[in-house]
Amino acid sequence: MVSLSCQQLINTMKTYDNACADKMIRSASKLVLAEKEEAHEENGVLFWINKSGFPIDDHTWDRMWEHASKIHPQGHDIVCNIRHRSDLPQIPVPQAPLSFGVTLSVQERLKKIQDYMNDLQYNHTGTQFYEIRKNRPISGLMESAREMIREALPIKCLEAVILGIFLTNGMMGVERFTLSFKTVFNGHTHRHVVLGISYGGQYGALGMSRRTDLMYKPLEFKSLADLIYDFEHCYKQYWHEVKKVKVGLPVIHDQHSYEVINWKALMVSMDKASKKEIVRDLDSHARRMKSFSKSWTSGPYSTLKMLSTAESNKVVQASVDTAPAKLRRAKSTLCQSPVAVRKKSTSSSVPLDIDYQIRI
C-alpha cells in the first residue's frame, strides 16, 4: 500500500514536471520568436534594432553592450574600459549639407552628401539606432532622416538610403531609386541596398557599406546596366556571387508626401538570365523610370498654367483643331479636369469653362 502511494506520488510529480517543462518551453519559444522579430539581417549578420527611440532605454543599451562584448576580441574588458569612463574625448558632430551653392554641380553636391555619410561612419555596434520600416510613407521616413542628422550616430545601408533621399530632395533633374542586391558567399546569403541616382543620362549611387566600392558611385555610368554590372564586378572581388538585383521606381521629391517607396519594380536574376536579356530588361526599366520622373514638381497641366488665359485658350483650341477626327473626343476628355468631367456627365447643357479647367 505504501509502495503504491509512493508510485502515485512519483507519477503525479512526473506529470507536474512535464507540464512545467512544456510551459517553460512554450515561454522560451515565444521569447525566441520575439527576439527574432526584433533582430534583422544585413550581409549575413544578425543585428538588433533600437525601437525605443531617443534617449535609448536601458534594455536596448544593455543589449547593445552585451552584443559588443561577445563579438569584440577583448570581450567585457573593452566594454568596461569604455562604458564607465568619464574622460573620453568629445566626438565632433558632422554638419549635414542641407544647402548648396548655386554654382555647385550635381556631381559635387552628391559627393558632399556621400562625404557627410562617411563622416557619420558605418555602424559596427550590432544595433541599428534608427528603426526604418519600408512600408512607411515618405513623410515618416523623412522624419527618421531628420533624427539621423540630429543624433549624428553611425548608420547602416538602409538608413543611408533614407538619408540620401532626404538630402537630395529638391535637386531638379535628379531621379532617386533603390538598388537592392542579394548575394551568396560561402553558402550564406547577404543583402545590401544603395540609392541609385540618375541625372542627365548618367547613373551613379549613394550609400553606406563596409566596402568603399559597394556604396558610392559617381555619375559616370552611361546606363543602368553599366552601373549594376560595376557593382557585380566589385562583389566578385570579395568572392560574392550576385543572385538577384531589385530596382525600384523614382522617389518623389515632396518630403511631406504620403506615397510609399517602390522598392521592387523590377527583379533581375543575374545567375539565370543571359547578359543580353538582363541588359534589355534594365534598359526597358530605365525608360520606364524616365516616364515616371519625380524630379519635376510641375503637374500635367503646368504648361497651360504658366501661360496667360488667352494664350492657353489658343493652345487648347489649336491642339483640338489639328487633331484627327478619331482623337478629338479623347483629347477633349483628357484636357478636362475631374470637376469638369463630373459637370458634363450631370448636365450636358452646361458649356465647358476652359479658364476654370486651367486654374484647376
Rounded to the nearest 5 degrees, what angle is found at the Cα of 116, between the Cα atoms of 112 and 121?
Answer: 145
Q: Tell me how many degrees the CA angle 120-133-35 measures, rounded to the nearest 5.
A: 95
Which letter does DSSP use for residue 223 in this model?
Answer: S
- Give me the DSSP letters along 295-352: S----TTHHHHTS-HHHHHHHHHHHHHHS-HHHHHHHHHHHS-HHHHHHHHH-TTSPP
- The question of whether 40 is a catalytic residue gets the answer no
Which residues lie closer than 8 Å to 296 by C-beta, 6 or more apart? 172, 173
For residue 272, what is its C-alpha cell?
539565370
Annotated catalytic residue within 192, 240, 253, 285 = 192
Which whole-number Å values give the CA distances from 341 to 219, 318, 325, 337, 345, in the listed order? 44, 21, 20, 6, 6
Choosing from 180, 209, 295, 312, the catalytic residue is: 209
- Beta-bridged to residue 182, according to DSSP, are 191, 244
Tell me, yes or no, if 157 is annotated catalytic: yes
Residue 264: all three cell numbers together: 521592387
Where are the alpha helices (H) located in the chain, listed in sequence order?
A: 2-38, 58-71, 76-83, 106-120, 138-151, 157-167, 224-237, 275-291, 302-305, 309-322, 325-335, 338-346, 354-359
Cell 560595376 belongs to: 230
Catalytic one of 157, 180, 190, 234: 157
Q: Whose CA is closest to 162, among 193, 200, 121?
A: 193
Q: Rounded to an integer, what distance in angstroms lies between the CA atom of residue 43 and that of residue 20? A: 39
Q: Are 263 and 178 in contact (CB under 8 A)?
A: yes
Burial 130-155 (b: 16+ CB within 10 A, else e): bbbeeebebeebbebbebbbeebbbb
∠ Cα 227 136 246 (to 5°):
25
Distances from the Cα of 304 to the Cα of 19, 301, 334, 341, angstroms: 76, 5, 13, 18
The residues annotated as belonging to the active site are 157, 192, 209
